[in-house]
Amino acid sequence: MHANVQRVVDAAAALGLEVSPRTFPDGTRTAQEAADAVGVELGQIVKSLIFGVDGEIVLAYVSGANQLDETKLAEAAGGVMCQRVDADVVRSATGFPIGGVPPFGHATPLRIFIDPDLLQYHEVWAAAGTWHDVFGIEPHKLVEASGGAVIDLKRS
Ligand code: 5CA
């Protein structure tokens, strides 16, 4: 198992979750690639997106079918300005590369906001730390384990 994946499995265990990542050699770097690899709907893929809100790094879990509305995320976080951050900031805040950022197990504690559209599925799939590894989880477990706030974040 890749060391990043082991970190995700260990972080899950620390949260009381047992996850079984699956490896896809053709890649799961984007939500579409992950959906195609696993054979699920695009909406079932959890995008773990990092943004800066008034200088605070925050994390949003967004359904693969949706685009994040930066104004909504700023409001959800109680801030004003929301901006995308660059790959180095993603790496330092989470410990993982863009395209492999998992929903938990990060290098720094991050406030988390969750797209409610993820809750309509029995199972969703999230990155497990690399461009090739993902795991399935019941969305309500993801909400409970992450302590994230479920709040509308999607661009309409
Ligand atoms: N492994 C897949 C499915 S779980 C995955 O991680 N998808 S993702 O959507 O969560 O991660 C890719 C996301 O990173 C893109 O949707 C995009 O929003 C973001 N991204 C891509 N390039 C950059 C960049 N240069 N800086 C910041 N964010 C980026």
For residue range 104-144, what is the model confidence (pLDDT) as tens digits? 999 999 999 999 999 999 999 999 999 999 999 999 999 99
Cβ–Cβ < 8 Å for 106, 57: no
83 close to 117: Cβ distance less than 8 angstroms: no
Token pair 């890649």 is found at: 27
Q: Is the CB of 62 under 6 A from ligand 1?
A: no
CATH number of the CATH domain containing 42? 3.90.960.10
Is residue 155 in a domain? no
Enclosing domain of residue 113: 3-150
- Nearest of 120, 139, 127 to residue 38 by alpha carbon: 127
List pLDDT tens digits, range 48-58: 999 999 999 99
- Number of structural domains (the chain) is 1
Q: What is the largest CA-CA distance in the chain?
A: 41
Distance 20 CA to ligand 1 centre (A): 22
Residue 156 within a domain: no
| Average pLDDT for 147-156 | 97
35 lines ligand 1 (CB under 6 A): no
Q: Is 114 helix (H, G, I), strand (E, B) or coil?
A: strand
C-alpha 77/C-alpha 107 separation (Å) is 20
Question: How many angstroms separate the alpha carbon of residue 33 from the centre of ligand 1?
Answer: 12
Q: What is the pTM of this model?
A: 0.96
Residue 52, domain member (yes or no): yes
Pocket flag, ligand 1, residue 128 (CB < 6 Å):
no
Q: What is the pLDDT of residues 5-56, one digit of tens each?
A: 999 999 999 999 999 999 999 999 999 999 999 999 999 999 999 999 999 9
| Ligand 1 touching residue 47 (CB < 6 A) | yes
Q: Is residue 37 part of a domain?
A: yes
* Residue 23 forms part of a structural domain: yes
Counts for the chain of helices (H) and strands (E), in that order:
5, 8
The atom of ligand 1 lying closest to the CA of 85 is 27
Q: Does 38 fall in a domain?
A: yes
Q: What is the pLDDT of residues 70-86, one digit of tens each?
A: 999 999 999 999 999 99
